[in-house]
Amino acid sequence: MPRQALILVVASDGLTRRTTVSNLQCYDYEVLSATNGDEAAALLREHGRRLSVLVADADARSGAVDGLEAARIARSLNPKVNVIYTSRAPHTIPASRKVNGAPVLRIPYFPQQIIGIIANLRHGAVQAPAAIEAAA
């Protein structure tokens, strides 16, 4: 059975990245992961045209490319790619640096929240960007 979609998870926190990747794989998604924007940019150059979803840590700021710029790169390679931002402080992300239509999920989050957002994005249910709070 073919996998549902190719997803790139960019998260500087190792536990968050591994947990998110593992849960996405349980739902039969094909998943790539990167620890920072530079790694993400390299993976985007290689796989960007077939990427369906980018989960980008907006707080990832090590290297020349941050999580926000990784989203811009993804959209330049594939205008149809869905982007989900994650952040410890979603309200601090400058609107001018975000790509259109990308929801923001507050860290920490439950992996099931990512699954639900991806399903909604892929089926057109998420209409406008919104900060989504994780349950404490």
> Each residue of 8-34: pLDDT tens digit?
999 999 999 999 999 999 999 999 999
- Report the domain count for the chain: 1
**What's the CATH code of the domain at 27?**
3.40.50.2300
For 12, residues 6+ apart whose C-beta sits below 8 A from its C-beta are 35, 36, 57, 59, 60, 62
Host H or E run for residue 34: strand 30-34
Q: Residue 54 sits in which domain range?
A: 6-132
User: Looking at the predicted structure, is the pLDDT value of residue 129 above 80?
Assistant: no
* Contact (CB, 8 A) for 107 and 86: yes
Higher-confidence residue of 62 and 6: namely: 6
Tokens encoding 124: 């057109």
According to the model, what pLDDT value does residue 67 have?
93
Judge whether residue 94 has pLDDT over 80.
yes
Distance between CA atoms of 93 and 31, rounded to whole angstroms? 25
Provide the pLDDT for residue 133: 57
Enter the pTM of the model: 0.88
| pLDDT at 134 > cutoff 90 | no
The mean pLDDT value for 113-135 works out to 73
Q: Is there a domain that residue 1 lies in?
A: no
The residue-averaged pLDDT of 102-108 equals: 95
Residue bearing tokens 């990747």: 21
Separation between Cα atoms, residue 90 and residue 105, nearest integer Å? 7
